[in-house]
Structure 1
C-alpha cells in the first residue's frame, strides 16, 4: 500500500526541528527516526501525517560518551551502533542485553534507541531496560531542555511526557559497571515484539544480592518495575530456591485486570509468562555472575 501525500522536512539541528514542530503544530505531524514503526503505519493507513520531520541526520542526536560515570547516548544512535560500543556493555549491561534481542539484524542496523523509547510501544524491548538502569531522558523543546527520569516518562500505551513540540535528544544512564544485566522475553511469533520481556540488573557481592532492579515489558500498557521480586532478592543468595520464590512474586502488585489482553495472549497467560521469564532472566544473571567469578 502507498501512504497519503505528506510534506517532508529535513532539519539540520534540534532547534530547526523544534521550530518545524511549532510551525506545523495545528497539523498532524510525525518525527521520523529509524522508521520501523512510522513507515508501516503510514503504508497501512493507520497513520496519515500531513508533515513528516526526518531527524535521522541531526548531528546533535548522535554520539556515545561516558562522563563522570554517566553513559550518554544520542537518541538517533542505531541499535547496531550501541551493540558495537564497549562502553554500552560495560556501563549499561541491562540495556545491552535488551538491545541484543531487538528485532533482527536488519532492524538493528536501522532502528534507533530514541525512536524506540519515545514511541512507547508496550511490547517493545527497551523501556524495561531503561527503567532498571535508572535512565534519564533529556528532552528539548521551545522552553529549553529538561530531564525526565524513565519512571516518570511513561504513563500509558504510546503515551509519554513528551510535549507536542518536544524531542527526546539523549538518554543518560548512571554507570552499572559492577552489576550484571540480562533480558529474557517471550517473543510474539508474528512480530518478534515482547509478549512479555523481563530486564534484570543485579549487583552481587560475595554471593549475596546487594541490589536488584527488575522490569517488565509487554504485560501492562507501559514498562513497569517488579518491586516485589526485587524485595525478595535483596540480601539473599542467588540460588535456585531464591530465584523460584522471587519469580513467583512477579505479578504481585500489578492489577491483573489491566494486563494486556489481545490476540497474542490473554492477561491471565501474561501473568504466567511474567513468572516464567522472570525466572529465566534471573537464571541468566546467575550464569553471568558465575562466569565473572570464574574469570577473576
Structure 2
C-alpha cells in the first residue's frame, strides 16, 4: 500500500500550519499545568482548635456544629491538619465524612478519653514515616506529666511525613500551650522544649509547628519561637481574613492565639477561615491555613 501525504504547497502555509500546531501543544500544556492540584505544587497546612464536645455549649454543642466543621475542612482541603481539644469521637467522625484523611494521636493523659492533639493527613499524598508524642514538662516522656504549675497536661503530637510522589520529608509538631494569663512562664518552657528537639533534628530539616499557643505575637513565647521559626502569616505575601482567631462562638475575634510556624518553607498564602452557617460556627476558634512552598529543591 502506498500512502500519499500532501503538504501545503506554499512554504509560508507550511510554516503557519507548523506554528499553529506548536501553539496548540503549548496551550494544552498550560491547561495541564493549570489543572494540576494545588497539593502537587505546594503543601497546604491547617491549624484548628475544634472545641471539646460538651453539652454545656448548648446550641454550639458538637452535634450541632460537626457538619459545619467537616464542611470547613473539606472546602479548605489541607494536606495536613493539626487539631487541638480533639476527642476521639470527633476525630472518628471527621474521617468518616472525609475518608481521604487518616488521623493519629493519643490524649493528654496517654489514652483516648480526653483531649488529643490529633493530626490529620491526606493518605494519597503523605506517608507517616515516624510519629509520637511528648509532654511539656520536666518529664516529657511521661504521659500526663505536669511540673510547671499549670492545671492540665500539655503535649506535642508529632510526625515525620514523606510526600509520596516526591519522597521529600518534613517534621510536623502540633501543640496546645497552657491557657491562663499567669501561665506565660510555662508556655515559655514549653516553647524551649520544642526548640530543643528541633535543634536535635538533622541540620536544615524542614519543620512545621501548628498550635493554639494561648498567647499573642507580643509575648516572650512568640518572640522565642520566631527566633528560629517563621510566622507563616507574618511572611505570606497574600493574607486573607481577620488577624485574631478566638471568638467564643460570636464570630467577632478578640485574640490571635492560633499559629502556623515553619522552617525550610516559604508561605505563599495565609488565611483565617471564617466559615459559618446561619450564624453558627464550627468552633469557638477560627482555623488558620497556609500554602507552603519548599524553600529548597529536593
The verdict on a shared fold, with TM-score over 0.5 as the criterion, is no
When you count helix as a share of all residues, which structure comes out higher?
1
Question: Normalising by the residue count of structure 2, what TM-score does the alignment of the two structures yield?
Answer: 0.26
**More RCO (CA 8 Å, sep 6+):** 2
Question: Normalising by the residue count of structure 1, what TM-score does the alignment of the two structures yield?
Answer: 0.26
Between Structure 1 and Structure 2, whose CA radius of gyration is higher? 2
